[in-house]
Amino acid sequence: MLTDVPVQARPAPAVESADFLSFRRQETVLAGLNLVLQISLFLAQLLWPQYLGRPHLPTLAVLGTGVTANLIELIWLSRREELSGSATARLTWTMILINIAVAFGLASFSNRQDVQYFTLMIPPIFQAAFRLSLASAIVTVAISDGLIFFWVGYSSRTRSPVTPNDFIEAGTVALIYAVTGLLVWTLVNHLRRKQTELTLSLSELEKTQVKLKAEERLAAVGRFSSAIAHEIRNPVAMISSALSTAANYGAGSAESREMYSIATKEAGRLERLTTDFLVYARPRPPVKAPSDLAETIGYIGEICGPRAATRGVEVVSECPAGLRVEFDSGQMQQALLNLAMNAIDASTSGARVVLRGRCERERVVIDVENGNGPIPQSAVACIFEPFFTTRSEGTGLGLAIARNIVIAHGGELALTRNDEEIIRFTISLPIGTGGEGDKK
């Protein structure tokens, strides 16, 4: 029998670093604004006593208290790396009340009936509008407006009779505070809603991107499977047909021997296809070691020689001696061999295939180029796709395998020239894989 297990309430987590940094930036600006206003009034009180009245010790003490409180907040915040949500609310309310008290204290200790000290209430209103709820912002505005009217009444009893202009002036200031607070809160709340909407939209986009990638992978698997089935079906069908035909003839007849030859050829083709597919599907991580690039290119030129000779193609190797590169020699030979064989098969009799290695702009570059171009533009976009080939005897995996090998080495393989004169494939490896610093 299942029973409900009570879940213990977890304590509120601390504000994340990004949120705290945002809070600290805002508090720094607001505390800085308070400091500028309070220090300005402090200096004005000392420099222009004929306009603001002779400075009283209580007035200077209140100003000093405000400056000290804001400096302490700035220093304390600069040393904090994280702060809980409740702590930020307490700090915000503490500084709001302190700065309002400073403004009211300055007005109360002043011998003048002007309300210039109430400008110090603007930063607390901004602070409430930025950090707190609408109700808290309204309470802050109400406290500020109430203190203004209280001060007007208090001033009328202690200094001179209050006039309608005094109430109009106080009402104007109170209205400015109310409009300022509500307007700032509205704008900030609008920005927060937009930020929330953008966050939700980003989250939805990320989910959609994940789904699209999953669907793309499934589609790629489908295309890959279809290509494999197509490539395997042809040789299997030829083997089956050849063996069936051979069975209709005598064991030693010329016809049966021809059919067995076809079956053997197609079986070999099927074996090459399977081997190439395994190499492409399960690439082995490269085991890098310093190798002589000139020797590697020369070796590929030599083993391609017999194939090139049967087609009347000349293979030329060009590479400065002593250029040592760190790569997996076997894998890089396989990549270069695939490129060279493709170049030879694409060349006409009397043509020339060039294998060239060099250093260029802090990269090791290997070119494999031939004539008899260009590759049709319809095929250029597909040449590195598995099973794409323009030759009936090809598996379509040579370039795909070569590209995977080069990428595993941190390099790039690209078709860098494709015109009527030259078709050039270029392997580019980063300087960290080899370069002039590796020369003997």
Q: Is 224-281 assigned to CATH 1.10.287?
A: yes
434 band by pLDDT with thresholds 50, 70 and 90: very low
For the stretch 161-218, pLDDT in tens is 666 777 777 788 888 888 888 888 889 888 888 988 998 999 899 999 888 888 877 7
Cα–Cα distance list, 381 to 81, 212, 378, 394 (Å): 52, 22, 7, 18
Residue 103 pLDDT: 83
pTM above 0.85, yes or no: no
Based on the number of CB atoms within 10 Å of its own CB, is 194 exposed (0-12), middle (13-18) or buried (19 or more)?
A: exposed
* pLDDT band at residue 54 under the 50/70/90 scheme: low
pLDDT for 439 beyond 50: no
At 314 the three-state DSSP class reads: strand
Which of the 8 DSSP states describes residue 437? Answer: G
Token pair in block for residue 66: 């405000």
Q: Which of 171, 166, 135, 134 is nearest to 152 (CA)?
A: 166
Q: What is the pLDDT of residue 55?
A: 64
Q: How far is CA 192 from CA 93, 188, 219, 377, in A?
A: 21, 6, 40, 50
pLDDT tens digits for range 74-87: 888 888 878 787 88
Each residue of 129-162: pLDDT tens digit?
888 888 888 998 888 888 888 877 766 666 566 6
The one-letter code for the residue type at 163 is T
Burial of 357-370, coded b for 16+ CB within 10 Å and e otherwise, reads bebeeebbbbbbbb
CA neighbor of 226 nearest in space, from 65, 386, 109: 386
Q: Coil, helix or strand for 103? A: helix
In this predicted structure, the answer to whether residue 64 has a pLDDT above a threshold of 60 is: yes
What number is the average pLDDT over the span 100-128? 75
Q: How far is CA 279 from each of CA 229, 268, 381, 407, 426, rounded to the nearest angstrom?
A: 17, 17, 22, 14, 21
With a pLDDT cut of 90, the percent of the chain lying above it is 12
CA distance 347 to 353: 8
| Average pLDDT of the chain to the nearest whole number | 79
Q: Domain limits of the chain?
A: 17-162, 224-281, 289-438
Work out the average pLDDT over 402-420: 90
Fold that domain 289-438 belongs to in CATH: Heat Shock Protein 90 (3.30.565)
Element (H, E) at 324: strand 324-327
Residue 136: its pLDDT value, please? Answer: 86
Torsion angle of the four alpha carbons 223, 227, 233, 238, in this order, in degrees rounded to the nearest 10: 160
pLDDT one-digit tens code per residue, 330-380: 889 989 988 998 899 888 888 999 999 998 877 899 999 998 878 888 888
| Residue 231: predicted pLDDT | 65
Q: Is the pLDDT assigned to residue 9 strictly greater than 60? A: no
Residue 221's pLDDT band, with cuts at 50, 70 and 90, is low
Sign of the dihedral through C-alpha 37, 40, 46, 47 = negative
Residue type, 7: V
